[in-house]
Structure 1
Amino acid sequence: MVRFHVDTWDPAYGSSVDAAETASSTARIDPEVEVPASRWAPIPATAVPRPAAILFVDGIRRVDARVWIEEPLLDPDTGEVLGTQTGMGLCASYGSGVVCSCQRGAHLLSALTRRGLFTTVAGAEDVTTTAGTYRAHHTGDRGEENPALLLSGALQQHLTDLEIIAAAEARNGLRDHDVEDSLVVVDGPLRGRTSLADTIGYIKSHRTTYLPPALHAVIARLGAGERTPIFAMGTSWDRLSWYLRLPSADGAPWVGVVRVECAAELDPQAAVRLANLSQAVLPRYASTEYKDHR
């Protein structure tokens, strides 16, 4: 019989067995996708037709409880119960939604929610509560990898999958909108979502310096609506990226700067089209500073 014990720490504080921060990997950079590195300079916005519909995709995850799961430890030869073994689990709620901005105004096109139990314990089963059922998802143990990081990654992958489903559902919902084209804007990196057509990732937080110093300095020189040239970036996955400054009051060199991504498989001309579209579209939807200073 499998037994569950809820960790008494508030999930907002992490686990009582806390996960160490992982060091950022060094990205492979090719700055010459659009122009030679010697010609890097701010690129002003150009007059391009805006898509008839903009789909904004976002997701959210919440760890409701961290649990410890006990299951019998069996002798592999005799099947005799030798004792118990314990594994970690996350009970989490996660969801994704898509808002469409078109001639009808802003409206919700898709909203999906899920609950899951993420664990390395093979015998774990669904957990039913008064709030709903947490579906069991088993993740293979990877030896020395921190289990908290492993399970958090599994949760994030399920959230990414749900965002893809929500985006596809929203695109299907556009059929009765009488629109010829659309642009999908995903909040955060595009990892795992590069298969979505005409899609860009929108990253507001900056924790890593990717470009060499001479090119990195171009970012601080961006004016409102201007972007850097496109560069290719490879870490554990490949993508094309550029920096864009949204309208903002004068302040720190990086105020209003976001990083935008698109699929690495696109040819340079298609990537430039999306980069130019991002200049035409994203500044229009920038938040006011008292709501979000980024």
Structure 2
Amino acid sequence: MTRYFIDAWDPAYGSNIEPDGGFAGPSEQSTAQVDADVEVPSDAWQPLLPAPGLRPPRVILLVDGVRRIDAGLWTEEEDGGSYPGLAASYAAGVVRCDLDRGAAELAGARVQRGLFTASPSATDAVAGSIRYAIQRVTGNGEQSKLPAAIQAPLTALEVDVSTEARAGAGDDDLLVVDGPLRNRRQLARTIGYIKTQHRQYLPPRLAAVVTSLKPGQRSPVFLTGTTWGAYSWYLRLPGRPGAPWAGIVRAECSADLPPAAAFALADLALVTLPRFASTAYKDPRAPQNLIPIAGLERRLRAMLGDSRLLHRALTQSAARAAYETATRNR
């Protein structure tokens, strides 16, 4: 049985894995290959409006996930070695917005917990009635890289709750994933919603078209050739005027779609997303942090439980196991 030693340092200090706001604009040039001639020739780029009379779908499903490190830990191996690990909680949920009824409701939410480590001998960590299922990390398990390992199971959980929320529904809906699509491209009628712009995908001349957008306008669609290739476009949400990138978000959809379907999704996003934009006096991340997403984040974080109690339970469990091991070896 692997022994664990829980870090006494509160993981809330210096271990926050939620991204910062940073709405000033992209600060890093992307290395992705970009085809800007997909919808409009790059030398004819200009702000675009949706087709006249286009209406949003009847139902919009907004998906988000949250994650939190409950404790850092170290294992004790039989050969005297040790591996770092993280005990993390994560949750995913879906808000269903019915525009006909003017109602929004939680369509599903689930919480999971995992113990992330490269230790070959590690097993589940149990703290009272809470179990952190082992999530084996490949490679040498560097401590600094462990938080990134949480993304894959969180994405899988988001896919599960999205699929469950859509079960038995018709095809008049739009699924909005908070963040890049990554490996959720198989979900139909789905767009990724990226509210924080860290990387610049376009050359300055085309980026100037983006910053010239007015609320309710979008850029032409372009194709990115990253690991998770996608059709992408920018749009500006309604809000107070400010810096050039204020209110600008990037949306994306699967590169497996026919181009015409991608253009249609871009127009659909343009007539749908602005109605959910937040306001500055309610949300410091306005207008990018959509109102249903903000409410869902609060609900999911509450579902994760009290991090202090979980940290204490993990510490007590590890101390109890160490005492029992020492007693047996006398």
- TM bin, normalised by shorter chain, reads 0.7 to 0.9
- Pairwise CA distance, 1:25: 5.4
2:132 is aligned to: 134
Percent identical across equivalent pairs? 47
Three-state SS of the structure 1 residue aligned to 2:176 is strand
- Pairwise CA distance, 1:267: 1.2
Contact 2:47-2:220 at 8 Å conserved across structures:
yes
For the residues of structure 1 that align with 2:205 and 2:239, how far apart are their CA atoms? 24
1:55 is aligned to: 61
For the residues of structure 2 that align with 1:261 and 1:224, how far apart are their CA atoms? 18
> Over the residues paired in the alignment, what is the CA RMSD in angstroms?
1.7
What does the per-residue CA deviation read over 1:95-114, in whole Å, with 9 as the maximum and x for residues that have no partner? 00001011341011111110
For the residues of structure 1 that align with 2:96 and 2:262, how far apart are their CA atoms? 23
The aligned amino acid for 1:44 is L
* Counterpart check, 1:162 vs 2:185: no
For the residues of structure 2 that align with 1:24 and 1:91, how far apart are their CA atoms? 34
Q: 1:204 to 1:181 in 2, by over 3 A?
A: same
For the residues of structure 2 that align with 1:204 and 1:264, how far apart are their CA atoms? 20
Three-state SS of the structure 2 residue aligned to 1:56 is strand
Match for residue 284 of structure 1 among 269, 275, 279:
275
Structure 1: gaps spanning 5 or more residues = 16-22, 74-83
The aligned amino acid for 1:58 is D
For the residues of structure 1 that align with 2:261 and 2:43, how far apart are their CA atoms? 23
1:120 is aligned to: 118
The aligned amino acid for 1:5 is F
The aligned amino acid for 2:177 is V
- Pairwise CA distance, 1:131: 5.6
Structure 2: gaps spanning 5 or more residues = 16-27, 289-330
2:253 is aligned to: 262
Contact 2:5-2:73 at 8 Å conserved across structures:
yes
- Pairwise CA distance, 1:252: 1.4
* Counterpart check, 1:34 vs 2:29: no
What is the TM-score when the length of structure 1 is the normalising length? 0.87
* Counterpart check, 1:7 vs 2:13: no
Three-state SS of the structure 2 residue aligned to 1:192 is helix
1:81 is aligned to: none
Contact 2:30-2:199 at 8 Å conserved across structures:
no
1:80 is aligned to: none
Three-state SS of the structure 1 residue aligned to 2:186 is coil
1:272 is aligned to: 263
The aligned amino acid for 1:89 is G
The aligned amino acid for 1:94 is Y
Match for residue 89 of structure 1 among 85, 89, 100:
85
- Pairwise CA distance, 1:65: 0.5
More helix, by proportion:
2
Contact 2:3-2:76 at 8 Å conserved across structures:
yes
Three-state SS of the structure 2 residue aligned to 1:65 is strand
The aligned amino acid for 1:190 is L
1:233 is aligned to: 224
More strand, by proportion:
1
The aligned amino acid for 1:231 is F
For the residues of structure 1 that align with 2:126 and 2:143, how far apart are their CA atoms? 23
What is the TM-score when the length of structure 2 is the normalising length? 0.78
After the TM superposition, list the runs of 4 or more consecutive aligned residues in structure 1 that deviate by more than 4 angstroms.
none
2:18 is aligned to: none
The count of residues paired between Structure 1 and Structure 2 equals: 270
Contact 2:176-2:192 at 8 Å conserved across structures:
yes
What does the per-residue CA deviation read over 1:154-188, in whole Å, with 9 as the maximum and x for residues that have no partner? 2110000000001001001x53xxx5411000001
